[in-house]
Structure 1
Amino acid sequence: MHQNNALSSSLRNPRNKNLICNVLSTTTKCRKNLPQILAVCVKNVMLIGFGMTLGFPTVLIGGLEDSKVDFQMTHEQLSWIGAINLIFVPLGCLVSGPYCDKFGRKKAMQMANIPLALVWLLFRYSSSPWHLYLALSVIGILLGLIEAPVVTYVSEVTTPNLRGILFSTSTLFTILGTLCSFFLGSIYYWRSVAQIAFLVPLISINLLFLIPESPHWLIKMNRFDDAQKSLAWLRGWVTKEDIHQEYATLNAFIHNNPTSESKPTSCFNYTSPSFLKPYFLISVVFFLRHFSGITNIQTYAVEIFQHLHAPMDKYNATTFMGVFELLGCITCVCLIRRLGKRKLTFFTMGCSIIALSTIPIYSYGSLGKDRNWIPMSGLFAYCFFQHCSLRTLPWILIGEVYTPQTRSIASGISAATGYFFGFFANKLFYGLVNELTLNGVFIMYMLVLFFGGCVLYVIMPETEGKSLEEICEYFANSRNDKNSVDGERIERNNNNNKEIKEYKGSHKDLYATNKETVDSDKDNDDNITYNKVKARRTDSSDDYIQSLNRLAANDSGPSYKRFESLNLNDI
Structure 2
Amino acid sequence: MPDDKVDSDFIDYVEPEESHSVSTLRKSISQYCAVLIASLLAITYGFSVGFTIIITHQLQNDTRITHVTDSQITWIGSMNYFSTPLGAMAGGALAQRLGRRNTLLLLTIPYFISWMLISYSSTVNEILIAFIVIGTAGGIVDPTLQVYATEISESRLRGEISCFITTTIMFGVFLQTIVGMFVDWRNLAMFCGLAPAFGLLLIGFVPESPYWLASKGRLGDARQALCRLRGWTTPQMVRHEYDQILQSTVDLNSSYKPPFFSKEHFKRMSRPAVRLPFILVSFAFFVSCFNGTTSILTYALDTFELLESPINIHTATIIFTGLQMLGSILLFFIVPKTGKRWPTFVSLIVAGSSFLIVSVYVFMRNQRFFKVSCNPWLKWIPLLALEISVFATTLGIETTPWILVGEVFPGDVRACATGLVTSIGFIFAAVASKIFHSMLSVLTVSGTFMFFATVNYVGLVVLYYFMPETEGRTLAEIEEHFAGKHKLDDPTTGPEGTELMPINSSHTNGTRKYADA
1:493 is displaced (CA, Å) by 7.3
Match of 1:448 among 439, 452, 455: 455
Q: What is the DSSP-based 3-state SS (H/G/I as helix, E as strand, rest coil) of the residue aligned with 1:209?
A: helix
1:160 corresponds to 2:155: yes
**Which of 47, 61, 65 is the aligned partner of 1:66?**
61
Matched pairs, number: 480
Distance 1:334 1:77, change over 3 A: same
Equivalent residue for 1:210, pick from 205, 213, 220: 205
Q: Tell me the equivalent position of 1:312.
A: 311
Amino acid across the alignment from 1:287: F
Extract unaligned runs of 5+ from structure 1: 1-23, 497-527, 534-546, 555-571
Match of 1:33 in 2: 28
Question: Separation in 2 of the partners of 1:378 and 1:474?
Answer: 38
Name structure 2 gaps, 5 residues minimum: 1-19, 259-263, 491-495
In structure 1, the residue matched to 2:88 is 93
Q: How many angstroms apart in 2 are the aligned matches of 1:329 and 1:488?
A: 25
Distance 2:341 2:234 in 1: 43
Q: 1 CA distance for matches of 2:353 and 2:410?
A: 37
Q: 1:469 to 1:428 in 2, by over 3 A?
A: same
Give per-residue Cα distances to partners, 1:409-447, cap 9 Å, x unaligned: 111111011111111111111111111222221111112
CA distance in 2, matches of 1:258, 1:119: 37
Measure the CA separation in 2 of the matches of 1:81 and 1:261.
44
1:105 touches 1:214 (CA, 8 Å); kept in 2?
A: yes
User: TM-score, structure 1 length as denominator?
Assistant: 0.77
Instruction: Flag the 1:301–1:112 CA change in 2: closer, same or farther, 3 A.
Output: same
- 1:400–1:259 distance in 2 versus 1, CA, 3 Å: farther
How far 1:190 moved relative to its partner? Answer: 0.7
- Cα displacement (A) at 1:360: 3.0
CA distance in 2 between partners of 1:388 and 1:362 (Å): 25
The structure number with the bigger radius of gyration is: 1
Aligned to 1:416: 423
Among 374, 389, 396, the alignment partner of 1:389 is 396
> Which one of the candidate residues 366, 372, 375 is aligned to 1:368?
372
Matched, 1:175 2:170: yes
- Contact 1:259 1:404 survives alignment (8 Å): no
**Does the aligned pair in 1 maintain the 2:486–2:507 contact within 8 Å?**
no
C-alpha contact (below 8 Å) 2:82/2:427 kept by paired residues? yes
Distance 1:166 1:401 in 2: 16
Moved more, 46-55 or 238-247: 238-247
Q: Measured at CA, do residues 425 and 394 of structure 1 come closer, stay the same or move farther in structure 2, by a change above 3 Å?
A: same
Aligned residue among 464, 476, 484 for 1:477: 484
Letter in 2 for 1:305: F
- Deviation string 1:156-198 (CA, Å, 9 cap, x unpaired) is 2222222221122111101110111111111111111111111
Contact 1:463 1:485 in 2 (8 A): no
Partner-residue secondary structure (3-state), 1:391: coil
Instruction: Provide TM-score, normalisation by structure 2.
Output: 0.85
The reply to whether residue 119 of structure 1 matches residue 114 of structure 2 is yes
Query: Cα RMSD (Å) of the superposition?
Result: 3.0
Residue 472 (structure 1) shift: 2.7
Q: Aligned AA for 1:348?
A: S
* Larger relative contact order (CA 8 Å, sep ≥ 6): 2
Alpha-carbon distance, 1:145 to partner: 1.4
Q: Encode CA deviations 1:329-367: one digit per residue, 9 max, x unaligned.
A: 122222223333332222221111222233233332435
1:489-526 deviation line (CA, Å, top 9, x unaligned): 99777654xxxxxxxxxxxxxxxxxxxxxxxxxxxxxx
Distance 1:154 1:260 in 2: 25
Q: 1:71 deviation in Å?
A: 2.6
Indicate conservation of the 8 Å contact 2:100/2:145, yes or no: yes
Matched-pair identity in %: 29
The residue number in structure 2 matching 1:84 is 79
The answer to whether the 8 A contact 1:51-1:176 is kept is yes
The residue type equivalent to 1:385 in the other structure is: A
1:199 aligns with 2:194: yes
Q: Residues 312 and 28 (structure 1 numbering): CA distance in 2 closer, same or farther, change over 3 Å?
A: same
Q: In structure 2, how many angstroms separate the alpha carbons of the residues matched to 1:339 and 1:245?
A: 29
